[in-house]
Structure 1
């Protein structure tokens, strides 16, 4: 009986890992969203950033117009840019354009999702569900794996070697 339980547990883990690997990106309308991740935060941090890649395979422009996360008071779309030799961050009031036939990368030091008023620390190894709303394609929830504090990129060896870039089915 113990051998059977062990084999069933192993089968479950393999299925979960395969699902995680297969769910590395999601398509919603003409958009593909993938490589989502965020960073762990110190215990009293009030803000954090989220990162991902959006590819528009269609012939019409779209736009990321909103984002939300359950552990934040508000979530905004931001850009970091050097203006007159000074690095500044600003909210993208109209959203983040995703031109037809192009890929837009939200990454540290550039465009990103800004988590404001974090209600609890983001812990390395966990995931943060983030709902993204696009002007044309609709809404999708992305599970962002949480990398170590200060990470410059997602460690793709995390979460069983599959990157842990879980996505949930789009809802329009």
Structure 2
């Protein structure tokens, strides 16, 4: 009887582990953040920008619709664009950023980025900043972005 119970317990453990590791697992852990950093242009700046590569491996398409942090009054999704005359301008991304399953989106300098507006204090090299990313489907995801003024 004891051996039957032992084999039944092992079978349950194997079944649970294989379900959790399967591609059908649609948990929030399916978002990948690579190379994140945050910087301001000057020590006295009241704004800063964060850059990172955000990958979606959740099993479904999603859209990043907002971000927030206690570091600043507002965090907005922003985009740099260049007009026909070569003039760069920055604007808020009102529609959010689509992230298809299996795809990544780069938030990079001179492109899309997270804009922190209304900093209360200067950023210090190596400081770790908590940021909440808000998705249409997955809801809220907490990430940490280090301050790196050297990149």
Task: Give the TM bin, normalised by the shorter chain.
Answer: 0.7 to 0.9
Quote the residue 1:88 is aligned against: 89
**Tell me, what secondary structure is at the counterpart of 2:65?**
strand
For the pair shown, the structure with the greater C-alpha radius of gyration is: 2
For the Cα contact (< 8 Å) 2:62–2:98, is it kept in 1? Answer: yes
Q: Deviations over 1:54-112 (max 9, x none)?
A: 11225532111111111211110001121222111110011111123211011111110
Provide TM-score, normalisation by structure 2: 0.74
Aligned length: 124
Whether contact under 8 Å (1:66, 1:133) holds in the other structure is yes
Q: Which 5+ residue runs of structure 2 have no aligned equivalent? A: 1-26
Does the Cα contact within 8 Å between 1:62 and 1:99 map onto a contact in 2?
Answer: yes
Distance 1:41 1:141 in 2: 25
Gaps of 5+ in 1: 1-26, 154-172
The alignment's TM-score, normalised by the length of structure 1, stands at 0.65
Q: How many angstroms apart in 2 are the aligned matches of 1:77 and 1:66? A: 7
Match of 1:97 in 2: 98
Q: State the distance in 2 between where 1:98 and 1:140 align.
A: 14
